[in-house]
Structure 1
Amino acid sequence: MRLGGFLFILVLALGLSFIPVKSGASQDPKAFFAARGQFGALLFFLLAAGETYSIGSVLGFPGGIAATGSIDVALWFIGYILLAFPIGMLLYPRLWQVGQKYGAITLPDLLGGYFESRLVASLTGCLLVVLMLPLGTMQFMGLSAVFSQLALPLPTCVLSACAAVLAFLFVASAGLRGAAWAAALKDISVLGAILCVALVALTQWSHGSAVPLADVLHGASTTPGASCVMILSTIIVQALGFCIAPQTAAAIFSARSSETIRRAQIWMPLYMVLFPLLFVVAAYGLTHHA
């Protein structure tokens, strides 16, 4: 049952990524990397939000709270994403306009055109690849966790290699447009799964012995001043870094116009609905011990 559901979602995602190819979409670089800059507010919203909420949010947020018992994790995690939305609303349209001026379809293109240097573009591309390695590592760690639950009779290295091939198929099949449709499927699946787990946690809360939440949830530091400085500095640095992260910036050039980006950014906070649900899951893990 578990394996069948996994394969169904996987095949469906691959099918969605191949739709543009079947419809005869041209595979020139601009179509591949930036979907010809034809995404409206809805597709841009799905793509940008899909890149925002990955395994780092779904597992990192409740996992960090459950592992440390600290409310500080929730404060800086939610704070930096909320701050990133208004920063993005100001920054992204400007980046899009500069990209149009220099005909950029990637961040290295934009910086190379702005500084009129191919060396700058090449160095930026290499730097972004290095910066993406930790995120890629987290994704494969998540896949390994999924594969372990499926109990497949194959070595981990073989399963990871298969995951790498599948990732290549997603990218090679339709470029950014395929990623947008796959992101829509992922968002629906992730939000549905989180909602179900949170509801189960709430309905089972009274079963068994539960420790009061106030007894297990605390601040990370005994000195409130130091804790406040850490939280505020993390929010500011993370929010600025979030807006220029490679996977986030890649979506900018797919938008139809700068106004499209602004309209999509207005609705981005809707995705924050998942964090109260994730907190319920983390709180259940803290207060209920097997």
Structure 2
Amino acid sequence: MNTVAIVVFIVLVALVLVMGFAAGRWKSADLDNIEEWGLGGRRFGTVITWFLLGGDIYTAYTFIAIPALMFGKGALGFFAVPYTVVCYPILFIVFPKLWKVAQKHGYITGPEFVRGRYGNRWLALAVGVTGIVATMPYIALQLVGMQTVIGALGLPGYMPLTVAVVVLACFTWTSGLRAPAMISIVKDLLIYLTVIVAVIVVPIELGGFGQIFDKIPAAMLTLPTPPAGSTGSYTGYATLALGSAMALFLYPHTTTAILSSSGSRIIKRNAALLPAYTIVLGLLALLGFMAYAMDLQKMPEFAAGFAKYHTSFAVPALFLHAFPSWFAGVAFGAIAVGALVPAAIMAIAAANIFTRDIWGPFVKGQNAGTGTKAETLVAKVFAMIMIAGAIFFIVVIPNTYAVQLQLLGGMWLIQIFPSVALSVFTRFFNGWALLVGWAVGIVTATWMVAENHFAGSLWTFHLFGYEVPSYIAFATLILNLIVAAILSLILNAVANDRALDETQAADYA
């Protein structure tokens, strides 16, 4: 146990949790209204939205997993950099339109927009359930990241993690989205501080970046050259980055952060400003190479950590070895807070979906209870269920299963791209056709991942005599679109549903 690091860690996390409770009085409003509790009243400006989206996208699991991938697999881990470049043009083009429509019609979730656009509550249910199912293991993985740094400090058992999550649940109940919005400011500043110090201090200790790269095997520095008749890792890498970018802002928590902003211009500004995080992510990925260059896995004091957490222990081991105890405590505190922020937003976003798209239309009747105290109470209760479910994942289910479910969740989530992202540009699709395309994509992606024994996200296709590896999510989305387009042509001719659209063309201008 590292006493100094533990004290700094606990003090830092405790201060942040206190901020979570204080956030309920920030931009004070009636938190018994779900738009205020679950969407911050749509009042966040450029700066707050920047921090909130940054805290949403660049999570604790990101700061553990990306360097771990670099540490274990090498250059493949850098797919996260082009992925977090490509995603921002998508944000700029699609989501200002979605915000305008949602603000005019009072939508607080993506599925609610889909129900209004197509007049089809079953399609909206499919979109909503997909988001909730994809979110649960994602919350769990945030807590896995937090558990890793708690273990690195030498704190025993699940008690510290459980206490932190219980407090997280309490301030989520009382403060809603305002809590992670306020905390994200501190979290992001701490992350920037930690990464910048690390990429200055560690290379100095190792004799410079040249010395670091000299110690990395050549096979880890680049993707392997494709063999004859194959595109090799190149198409796999490209489709992994593109498919991940297309799915990113469909996650309920990122959509919630976008819709909480005060205007469509705020979203466009953030699409231009958020790539600053990508620069930090690129530097963060290099921490995996720094850990490899230090041969941390061969040091006796870290043997137990690597045995338990595998390559995920690379960053904690690097901080413990390279920094004084107090700064390691600060770094671990930043990662822990980086788990609490997105976990809170994910729980709130899933609760918004359950309340507006499942409880309202299917339990209480179409739009029953909208804007009432009872509706907000349902949302708060479901948020607690999501947080408790994440704890269940951590304590009962092996971490490898949580990783597998999150992998599958991303492949499921991209199947709602036509229903949400494309639907702000066109009403060509028929709602029932989209539902069938969604089902085909879900089933096919699940089958492919199962055939891979949940061990990989790429599938090799044989096209025109070439072997073409592709990210499963991207390939199944194309299949989804083909099915939806063909069926839309047929259904629009015999059972056109465009009269059910409660939005107007002017809403999207």
Q: TM-score higher than 0.5 here?
A: yes
Alpha-carbon distance in structure 2 between the residues aligned to 1:124 and 1:163: 31
Match in the other structure for 2:183: 182
Match in the other structure for 1:258: 264
Match in the other structure for 1:45: 50
Instruction: Kindly provide the amino acid, as one letter, of the partner of residue 125 in structure 1.
Output: G
Task: Name the SS of the counterpart of 1:204 in structure 2.
Answer: helix
Pairing partner for 2:30 from 9, 23, 26: 26
Alpha-carbon distance in structure 2 between the residues aligned to 1:95 and 1:239: 17
Gap runs ≥5 in structure 2: 299-509
Task: Name the SS of the counterpart of 2:224 in structure 1.
Answer: coil
Pairing partner for 2:148 from 138, 142, 145: 145
Alpha-carbon distance in structure 2 between the residues aligned to 1:274 and 1:109: 34
Task: For residues 160-193 of structure 1, give each alpha carbon's deviation from its aligned partner in whole angstroms, at most 9, with x where no partner exists.
Answer: 4323312212322311121111111111111211
Match in the other structure for 1:226: 232
Moved more, 94-103 or 118-127: 118-127
Alpha-carbon distance in structure 1 between the residues aligned to 2:125 and 2:282: 42
Match in the other structure for 1:170: 171
Superposed displacement of residue 92, structure 1 = 1.1
Task: For residues 209-230 of structure 1, give each alpha carbon's deviation from its aligned partner in whole angstroms, at most 9, with x where no partner exists.
Answer: 9671463433343427311111
Match in the other structure for 1:35: 40
Match in the other structure for 2:207: 206
* Superposition map of 1:1-290 within 5 A: 1-22=4-25, 24-27=28-31, 28-68=33-73, 70-74=74-78, 76-153=79-156, 155-156=157-158, 158-206=159-207, 212-213=214-215, 215-216=217-218, 217-223=220-226, 225-289=231-295, 290=298
Task: Name the SS of the counterpart of 2:206 in structure 1.
Answer: coil
Task: For residues 230-265 of structure 1, give each alpha carbon's deviation from its aligned partner in whole angstroms, at most 9, with x where no partner exists.
Answer: 111112111100121222111121111111111122
Instruction: Kindly provide the amino acid, as one letter, of the partner of residue 273 in structure 1.
Output: I
Task: For residues 136-175 of structure 1, give each alpha carbon's deviation from its aligned partner in whole angstroms, at most 9, with x where no partner exists.
Answer: 121121121122133334x32x344323312212322311
Superposed displacement of residue 90, structure 1 = 0.8
CA contact (8 A) 1:50 1:186 kept: yes
Instruction: Kindly provide the amino acid, as one letter, of the partner of residue 50 in structure 1.
Output: G
Moved more, 268-277 or 116-125: 116-125
CA gap of 1:179–1:220, structure 2 versus 1, over 3 A, is: same
Alpha-carbon distance in structure 2 between the residues aligned to 1:115 and 1:249: 19
Superposed displacement of residue 18, structure 1 = 2.5
Moved more, 2-11 or 89-98: 2-11
Identity %: 22
Alpha-carbon distance in structure 2 between the residues aligned to 1:160 and 1:120: 37
CA contact (8 A) 1:211 1:288 kept: no
Instruction: Kindly provide the amino acid, as one letter, of the partner of residue 288 in structure 1.
Output: M
Alpha-carbon distance in structure 2 between the residues aligned to 1:121 and 1:280: 41
TM-score by length of structure 1 reads 0.89
Alpha-carbon distance in structure 1 between the residues aligned to 2:292 and 2:127: 43
Give the length in aligned residue pairs: 285
Alpha-carbon distance in structure 1 between the residues aligned to 2:84 and 2:95: 15
CA gap of 1:152–1:214, structure 2 versus 1, over 3 A, is: closer
CA gap of 1:238–1:283, structure 2 versus 1, over 3 A, is: same
Task: For residues 18-71 of structure 1, give each alpha carbon's deviation from its aligned partner in whole angstroms, at most 9, with x where no partner exists.
Answer: 334235432011101111111111111111111010123212221111111x31
Task: For residues 103-140 of structure 1, give each alpha carbon's deviation from its aligned partner in whole angstroms, at most 9, with x where no partner exists.
Answer: 11222332233333444444433322210122112112
